[in-house]
Copies of this chain bind each other. A is one copy, B any other.
Amino acid sequence: MAQLYNRVALIGLGLIAGSMAHAMKRAGLAGEIVGYSRSAETRDVAREIGLCDRVVDNMLDAVDGADLVMLCVPVGAMGAVAAEIAPALMPGALVSDVGSTKGAVIEAVTPHMPAGVHFIPAHPLAGTEQSGPRSGFAELFDNRWCLLTPLEGTDPEVLSRYKSLWEQMGSNVDEMDAPHHDLVLAVTSHTPHLIAYTMVGVADDLQRVTDSEVVKYSAAGFRDFTRIAASDPTMWRDVFLANKEATLEILGRFTEELFALQRAIRTGDGEHLHDYFTHTRAIRRGIIEAGQDIDVPNFGRNAK
């Protein structure tokens, strides 16, 4: 493994940026890592834990002389950040992002990119329910997929080097176009998150079942939903607003199926239910065989 970039600027210092800092250090991929966050508190924490080589108080200082600039902010903030850093970008620099939606980010960032600056959107499919500068760790990307959605005319050498960065941070890398990315993620991530948030909200809101009952008896299945529904609210607000069309499409399919199952319950159609529930077991098997989850009951957790 060898250094791939002289200076990497991390704009935003949350879970993904923090994990990138750790993973780049682990493999010696960056000459210098410079970090910036809008929040003074986050910058202080990042300095305290030595997350980056330098943490700066000004976004333009972070970008100065960087040959890789990573936009690690919520999707809704990408356009404003791109506009602000544009004048300070070094010719030949690569700008990338780690946003969970790609169509909206491309639309927001591309118009601000100066000639001679490269832009390759990226989305590492990795995360936890935690957030903030302390939540990152070097192993986050290990054997997880990172999806790149390169634009037409992307320089193959710039792309190849960037792909190598993600691989050396532990990821498998795939390429696809932005609309397909947004549809796939609506299925594997965005709609599941919305549903989990909804279910947890409903449980919290019922008058006839108390909060303490929900908490005590959560191990019956509900606690899995609460993990997802503990994710960063700002990030997820922006995801749904940015991937509106695909999310609404998958939600439409979801409610259609849910109503069919609801009808089967109401009419006592046990065969429909049994067939549906049998069908869904195979996918779990596929995920375990693909190494994307562990084959241990209850995810191997042992709560005391």
Q: Which residues of A contact B (CB under 8 A)?
A: 76, 100, 125-130, 135, 139, 143-145, 147, 174, 183-185, 187-189, 191-206, 208-209, 211-231, 233-234, 236-238, 240-241, 244, 247-248, 250-251, 253-255, 257-258, 261-262, 265-266, 268, 270, 273-274, 276-287, 290-294, 296-304
What secondary structure prevails in chain A residues at the interface with B? Answer: helix
Given contacts A225-B192, A261-B197, A262-B248, A145 and B287 within 8 Å (CB-CB):
no
Q: A188 and B220: CB pair below 8 A?
A: yes
B253 close to A192 (CB less than 8 A): no
Residues from chain B with a CB closer than 8 A to the CB of A224 are 192, 196, 224-225, 227-228
- Report the minimum CB–CB distance from A171 to chain B (whole Å): 11
A199 contacts B191, C-beta separation under 8 Å? yes
Contacting pair A280 B201 (CB below 8 A):
yes
- For the complex, give the distance between the alpha carbons of A265 and B217 in Å: 31
Chain B residue at minimum C-beta to C-beta distance from A252: B262
Is there contact, CB below 8 Å, between A241 and B268? Answer: yes
Q: Are A213 and B241 in contact (CB under 8 A)?
A: no
A146 to chain B, nearest CB (A): 10
User: Given A241-B268, A280-B226, do A218 and B258 touch, yes or no (CB 8 Å)?
Assistant: no
Assembly stoichiometry (copies)? 2
Known: A248-B266, A302-B139. A283 touches B233 (CB 8 A): no
A220 closest partner in B (C-beta): B189
Also in contact, A197 and B268, with CB within 8 A (given A202-B187, A250-B202, A297-B130): no
